[in-house]
């Protein structure tokens, strides 16, 4: 246990640093997966109708997709690996033990996807519409779409496992883990269906926006293309909602109760019905702006495209924030808390102490004395609290204990995972260690 050194991110904090990278990656990865499917459909339509202008427009959409997938997508994807390894190595270590070969296959498929995308982009102009070579080129598009979707399928299995490990929890991990149960966890299929159609909706909305900009001088092509992409969007909305509801049903009841806090934060979540109103408002803006573009493509103003982009992007961002937040207080539900402590180790840590089992800790702090009590408390803060808090930056612990004396903080630490804050992990350690943490936090109040 705890065989990793401490990495601290002051002021910004781990949560904000990771969230920025991860949400940008979600924007791009969903655009890439949905875009590959929309691109294949657009190419099929261009070949079927021998529509050269639509084919040229599809190439321009591909160019934007190429830049996003190869530059931003790949960069933020690597960033996620760096972040999770330094923020919560215990969690990523557990996931790698379970999903190593699946992740390895995903890496191979991702490389195939990038190679096909590169071949597709570079060979487009050499295989014009109306030539025999175009049929082979279309097979490249289909191959790219399939490879892109397979990467989503594997990653979605891992994300689903973190929320709903299911019967895997009954297996003997890490000695004899049930790999089949981990892959076919309860939320994999519904979340995969939801993300697939959500990605198509997001990519189709992006294609409508790009079409608006690319066809300013060709209103006929604009109308034809926006109507086509709009159909892709609207056809995907119904299965997206169906899979989304199925996905929601798989969430534990405790997780469902955190949806409002995940969407708005603790303070705004106290306003009755505000979370639902915000979600409905964004959905209405999305529906109205996309409908305006769809039914009036020639006269639709730039504002409609901007509103569509902002509304759809905000919905995606909120969806990811909620999905991550409602998993708390766990990082792997019912198996590991957000601070890297396994649920099964809590009784041992409360009996023997956290300090005794911490590898990267100086020997002088393993035993608490009046002289080192505050310093030991600081060590415990970095071991258990810095995953979500900073001292005086984002989500500052200093603000949480403002005006509290040492005794009040001590009692609060004993009630971390309570109805008031169900998203916080319980303190892992002895009563003496809890008192040391309280002593350190009390010093953040100054005098």
Q: What is the mean pLDDT of each run of 10 residues along the chain (447 residues)?
A: 72 84 89 93 93 92 84 86 87 92 93 91 89 90 95 95 94 86 95 95 91 88 93 93 95 92 79 85 91 89 86 87 92 94 94 91 92 95 92 91 93 93 94 96 83
Reference 224, options 314, 298, 158; nearest CA is 298
> Do 203 and 93 share a structural domain?
yes
Q: Of 213, 246, 279, which one is at a domain's C-terminal end?
A: 246
In a domain, 320, yes or no: no
Q: Bridge-partner residues for 390, per DSSP?
A: 396
> For residue 401, what is the domain's CATH number?
1.10.760
In a domain, 1, yes or no: no
In a domain, 296, yes or no: no
Q: Of 246, 275, 307, which one is at a domain's C-terminal end?
A: 246
Q: What is the pLDDT of residue 301?
A: 86
Q: What is the pLDDT of residue 256?
A: 93
In a domain, 59, yes or no: yes
Q: Of 226, 246, 266, which one is at a domain's C-terminal end?
A: 246
In a domain, 333, yes or no: no
Print the domain residue range for 413. 345-443
The structural domain count of the chain equals 2
Query: What is the C-alpha separation between 265 and 275, in angstroms, rounded?
Result: 10
Query: What is the C-alpha separation between 146 and 318, in angstroms, rounded?
Result: 27
> At 4, is the secondary structure helix, strand, or coil?
coil
> Do 132 and 242 share a structural domain?
yes
> Do 190 and 72 share a structural domain?
yes
Q: What is the pLDDT of residue 446?
A: 66
In a domain, 404, yes or no: yes
Q: What is the pLDDT of residue 74?
A: 82
- Predicted TM-score (pTM) of this structure: 0.91
> Do 350 and 222 share a structural domain?
no
In a domain, 268, yes or no: no
In a domain, 363, yes or no: yes
Reference 346, options 430, 416, 412, 421; nearest CA is 430
> Do 235 and 368 share a structural domain?
no
CB contact at 8 A, 212 and 302: yes
Query: What is the C-alpha separation between 79 and 259, in angstroms, rounded?
Result: 27
Q: What is the dihedral of CA 203, 205, 210, 215, to 10 degrees?
A: 130
CB contact at 8 A, 331 and 162: yes
């Amino acid at each position: 246990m705890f065989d990793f050194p401490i990495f601290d991110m002051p002021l910004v904090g781990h949560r904000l640093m990771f969230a920025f990278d991860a949400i940008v990656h979600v924007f791009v990865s969903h655009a890439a997966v949905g875009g590959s499917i929309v691109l294949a459909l657009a190419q099929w339509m261009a070949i079927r109708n021998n529509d050269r202008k639509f084919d040229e427009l599809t190439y321009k959409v591909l160019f934007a997709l190429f830049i996003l997938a190869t530059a931003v997508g790949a960069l933020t994807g690597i960033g996620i690996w760096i972040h999770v390894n330094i923020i919560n190595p215990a969690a990523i270590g557990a996931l790698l033990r379970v999903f190593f070969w699946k992740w390895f296959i995903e890496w191979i498929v991702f490389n195939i996807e990038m190679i096909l995308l590169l071949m597709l982009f570079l060979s487009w102009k050499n295989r014009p519409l109306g030539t025999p070579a175009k049929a082979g080129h279309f097979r490249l598009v289909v191959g790219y779409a399939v490879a892109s979707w397979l990467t989503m399928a594997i990653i979605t299995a891992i994300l689903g496992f973190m929320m709903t490990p299911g019967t895997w929890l009954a297996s003997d991990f890490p000695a004899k883990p049930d790999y089949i149960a981990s892959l076919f966890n309860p939320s994999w299929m519904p979340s995969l269906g939801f993300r697939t159609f959500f990605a198509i909706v997001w990519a189709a909305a992006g294609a409508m926006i790009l079409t608006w900009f690319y066809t300013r001088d060709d209103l006929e092509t604009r109308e034809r293309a926006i109507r086509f992409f709009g159909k892709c969007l609207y056809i995907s909305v119904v299965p997206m909602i169906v899979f989304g509801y199925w996905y929601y049903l798989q969430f534990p009841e405790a997780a469902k109760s955190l949806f409002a806090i995940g969407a708005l934060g603790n303070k705004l979540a106290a306003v009755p019905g505000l979370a639902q109103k915000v979600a409905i408002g964004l959905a209405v803006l999305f529906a109205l702006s996309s409908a305006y573009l769809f039914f009036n493509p020639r006269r639709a103003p730039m504002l409609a495209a901007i509103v569509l982009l902002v509304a759809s992007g905000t919905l995606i961002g909120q969806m990811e924030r909620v999905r991550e937040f409602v998993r708390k207080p766990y990082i792997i539900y019912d198996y590991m808390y957000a601070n890297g402590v396994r649920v099964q180790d809590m009784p041992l840590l409360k009996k023997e102490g956290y300090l005794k089992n911490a590898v990267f800790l100086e020997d002088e702090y393993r035993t608490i004395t009046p002289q080192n009590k505050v310093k030991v408390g600081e060590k415990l803060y970095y071991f258990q609290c810095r995953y979500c808090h900073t001292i005086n930056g984002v989500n500052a612990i200093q603000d949480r204990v403002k005006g509290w004396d040492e005794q009040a903080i001590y009692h609060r630490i004993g009630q971390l995972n309570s109805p008031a804050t169900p998203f916080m992990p319980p303190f892992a350690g002895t009563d003496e260690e809890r008192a040391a943490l309280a002593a350190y936090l009390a010093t953040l109040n100054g005098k």
